[in-house]
Amino acid sequence: MTVRGGDPLRTARLGAAIGLALLALDSGCALQRRKEERRIPQYGVVDLAQPRELNKVTTPPYVIEPPDELEVIVSPSSVDSAQRLVTVQADGLIDLGLAGDVYVSGLTLAQAEQAVSRRLSARALQTAEEPDDPIEVAVRLASTTRSKVYYVMGAVSSQGAVPINGGETVLQAILQAGLKANSLPEKAYLSRPRPLGHPDLVLRIDWEAIRDRGDTTTNYQIFPGDRVVVPGTKERGLIGTLFGG
């Protein structure tokens, strides 16, 4: 009895043809990706004078800006606005209720304390409600909205502004944003905003040295306003994703 089925030789030839086609497709996708990678320039220079991992610096005193949220604590507690959470408005003012508004944008926290103290003292004199003890004010950042951010852009999973707490590095920024299949972190760079008239400051990030050797030379410390850019090739379509192109 003969078992019906396809011609084994024909099946083998068909499988070989499909395999060669897939191999050619994979090679073509890989070649196209390499061409795209070569077309993407490497920006930036290596600057050994910049703060980085193992050689960080403390940041300057925090400067208040909208939309910072501040906790204002006043002593003695009999003074109006003894404690409140306030948001710095777009016009730079905070609302102290009956005591009025105080302009704090551009001030450090210590300077804001002095500004609020002067406003409360002036109101106490106007209302003849001056307390027996001197008015003392503490202003500190709330743990919610803050104005100081850095940015991660390009071929990453999560682009956008990231609140800065102090001491972050480009390694942390890139890992937090997440790499994608088309990301080229080896061509990443950091762009730092500069005052008008100053030369651009663009720093090259040696991703392979940071990742593979623990080299801290270009694992720069991040400051408010910094832009970490991760270039990438074109995102792959369905066929490229299936076959590694």
Tell me: pLDDT of 28 over 90: no
Quick one: pLDDT at residue 140? 94
Name which of 22-36, 43-57, 205-219 the model is least confident about.
22-36
Quick one: pLDDT at residue 227? 98
Tell me: pLDDT of 223 over 80: yes
Distance between CA 210 and CA 174 in Å, rounded? 12
> Highest-confidence range of 7-11, 186-190, 241-245, by mean pLDDT?
186-190
Q: What is the pLDDT of residues 186-196, one digit of tens each?
A: 999 999 999 99
Quick one: pLDDT at residue 71? 94
Q: DSSP labels for 104-161?
A: -TT-BHHHHHHHHHHHHHHHHHHTT---SSPPEEEEEE-SS--S-EEEEEESBSS-EE
Strand partners, 232: 183
Residue of 149 and 125 predicted with greater confidence = 149
Classify domain 69-141 by CATH architecture: 2-Layer Sandwich (3.30)
Q: Which two tokens stand for residue 204?
A: 């090259």
Quick one: pLDDT at residue 236? 67
The model's pTM: 0.76
Return the SS3 of 40: coil
Distance between CA 117 and CA 123 in Å, rounded? 10
- 158 Cβ neighbours under 8 A, 6+ residues apart: 152, 176, 177, 178
Long-range contacts from 204-210, C-beta under 8 angstroms, 24+ separation: 204/42, 204/43, 204/44, 204/45, 204/46, 205/44, 205/170, 206/46, 207/174, 210/170, 210/171
- 32 Cβ neighbours under 8 A, 6+ residues apart: 245
Tell me: pLDDT of 3 over 60: no
Quick one: pLDDT at residue 24? 52
CATH number of 35-59+148-243: 3.10.560.10
**Strand duo 93-95 + 83-87: pairing:** unpaired
Quick one: pLDDT at residue 8? 72
Give the residue among 51, 87, 89, 56 at the shortest CA–CA distance from 72.
Answer: 87
Residue of 166 and 53 predicted with greater confidence = 53
Q: Which residue blocks in the chain are alpha helix, DSSP H?
A: 8-39, 109-126, 170-177, 207-213, 238-243
pLDDT band at 12 (very low <50, low <70, confident <90, very high): low
pLDDT band at 17 (very low <50, low <70, confident <90, very high): low
Strand partners, 153: 229
Name which of 53-57, 162-166, 191-195, 229-233 the model is least confident about.
162-166
Q: What is the mean pLDDT of the chain?
A: 85
pLDDT band at 220 (very low <50, low <70, confident <90, very high): very high
Q: Which two tokens stand for residue 188?
A: 């990443």
Give the residue among 173, 182, 177 at the shortest CA–CA distance from 219.
Answer: 173
Give the residue among 167, 179, 165 at the shortest CA–CA distance from 207.
Answer: 179
Q: What is the pLDDT of residues 33-71, one digit of tens each?
A: 667 767 889 999 999 999 999 999 998 899 999 999 999
Query: Which residue has 């972190």 as its token pair?
Result: 185
Domain coordinates of the chain in residue numbers? 35-59+148-243, 69-141
Quick one: pLDDT at residue 16? 63
Q: What is the pLDDT of residues 127-144, one digit of tens each?
A: 777 677 788 999 999 877
Return the SS3 of 84: strand
